[in-house]
Amino acid sequence: MIPFNKPYLTGLELSNIQEAHANGHLSGDGPFTKKCHAWLRENTGAARALLTHSCTAALEMSAMLLNLAPGDEVIMPSFTFVSTANAFVLRGAIPVFVDIRTDTLNIDERLIEAAITPKTKAICVVHYAGVSCEMDQIMAIARRHGLAIVEDAAQGIMSKYRGKPLGTIGDLGALSFHETKNIISGEGGALLCRDDEFSERAEILREKGTNRSRFFRGQVDKYTWVDLGSSFLPGEVTAAFLAAQMERADDITAKRLSIWSTYHDWAAEHEAAGRVRRPIIPEHCDHNAHMYYLLMPSPEVRTHFIEGMKAKGIGCVFHYIPLHSSPGGIQYGRAHGVLNTTDDVSDRLVRLPLWIGIEPYMDNIIHAADSLLRS
Ligand SMILES: *Cc1c(COP(=O)(O)O)cnc(C)c1O
């Protein structure tokens, strides 16, 4: 059986975890968390990077930092994971779903402006498959209307838009280190603050609404409850694991890109014959090979393909069930216009397995996929 995903171990994780224990500091914000913060600042250029227990948590912090109130609206794609919307719904805000581009499957920036109302406070973009949204245009819209931008960069670590790391272009960025992402710690995430506007308050929200971080820096002589907050920080075991992965981030990305290219080269002939559509990477985007997907000609062909691969012991999956037509989306959000591309793509997309260590099985996978596409 070739699973759809298999978490990668660099080999440095376990000794890091032992060291975390030897440090006598297993709760959050110890030496390994600091190491991860430094890595994130150096590799993204964000003014402040804070580890969280998930990307979901970082998105929830973003909604708090923007002071979203009941009835406020946040424009976002429907073709995304539930956390993109739920983080804002928890503050009483209303997700307003707009359609995606047919090429990158990212939010269609040409549809954003028409979805803006007097209640719109923010745009939450999602960099699907680690390929950037059209940030220049989106930033210009946000400036014209005084809106904040949150980047759901859950899939975007090591990816760039015109040379800028994803998650640092808008006001706030959220990364994920979930085991299905490129750089992992089981569960894990980070909030990136582009500049210092939000960083001090972000520290407070993350530490249960206290000024504990300022206390440890000697900036206040006792710490106390000062704001909203929750426990958003991961423990040191998680950070120790993550630090090992970060150390190998270049190597991880290179290996994933190589597997991605193997699929992409193979699928070219099938695309030319009209049997599939391959991912499209705009020239100004450096992607991180988070995902390899194919668009099948119809939902029936997709089902046939996934079932056929499963019968050969190869795990392939699809996503997303669009948010605008799911029970949560109907209750808490609304669609702006018709979301034809979202509906169409979610019916036809299939993801192929992509993980480090899969290389010896690639011939098998491609042979299996090839015969299914020709049948
Ligand atoms: C994975 C993912 C999330 C959630 O990340 P967690 O770290 O599991 O909370 C949110 N948004 C997108 C687009 C994702 O792919």
CA-nearest residue for atom 14, ligand 1, is 154
* Distance in Å, CA 289 to ligand 1 centroid: 16
CA distance 243 to 30: 12
Alpha-carbon separation of residue 246 from 40, 300, 328 (angstroms): 9, 40, 35
Which percentage of the chain shows pLDDT scores above 70? 100
CA-nearest residue for atom 5, ligand 1, is 55
Asked whether 33 and 242 are in contact (CB, 8 A), the reply is: no
Please tell me whether residues 114 and 243 are part of one structural domain.
yes
- Per-residue model confidence as pLDDT tens digits over 41-99: 999 999 999 999 999 999 999 999 999 999 999 999 999 999 999 999 999 999 999 99
- Domain final position from 208, 230, 247: 247
Domain of residue 321 covers 249-374
Please tell me whether residues 258 and 207 are part of one structural domain.
no
Q: Is 52 in the pocket of ligand 1 (CB under 6 A)?
A: no
Q: Which atom of ligand 1 is nearest to the CA of 56?
A: 9
- Per-residue model confidence as pLDDT tens digits over 117-167: 999 999 999 999 999 999 999 999 999 999 999 999 999 999 999 999 999
Average pLDDT over the chain reads 97
Q: Is 155 in the pocket of ligand 1 (CB under 6 A)?
A: yes
Is residue 5 domain-resident? no
Which residue matches tokens 């995902």? Answer: 291
CA distance 302 to 223: 56
Please tell me whether residues 369 and 271 are part of one structural domain.
yes
- Domain final position from 213, 247, 281: 247
Q: What is the model's pLDDT at position 131?
A: 98
Q: Indicate the pLDDT class of residue 221, thresholds 50, 70 and 90.
A: confident
* Distance in Å, CA 157 to ligand 1 centroid: 12
Q: Which atom of ligand 1 is nearest to the CA of 180?
A: 1
- Domain final position from 214, 230, 247: 247
* Distance in Å, CA 82 to ligand 1 centroid: 8
Q: Is 54 in the pocket of ligand 1 (CB under 6 A)?
A: yes
Please tell me whether residues 356 and 279 are part of one structural domain.
yes
Please tell me whether residues 192 and 297 are part of one structural domain.
no
**94-98 and 73-77 beta bridge pairing:** parallel
Please tell me whether residues 89 and 205 are part of one structural domain.
yes
Does the structure show a pLDDT above 90 at 215? no
Is residue 216 domain-resident? yes
Please tell me whether residues 133 and 269 are part of one structural domain.
no
Q: Is 83 in the pocket of ligand 1 (CB under 6 A)?
A: yes
Asked whether 37 and 234 are in contact (CB, 8 A), the reply is: no
Count how many domains the chain has: 2
* Distance in Å, CA 79 to ligand 1 centroid: 13
CA distance 359 to 249: 18
Of 286, 284, 264, 287, which Cα lies nearest the Cα of 276? 264
**The domain that contains 253 carries what CATH number?**
3.90.1150.10
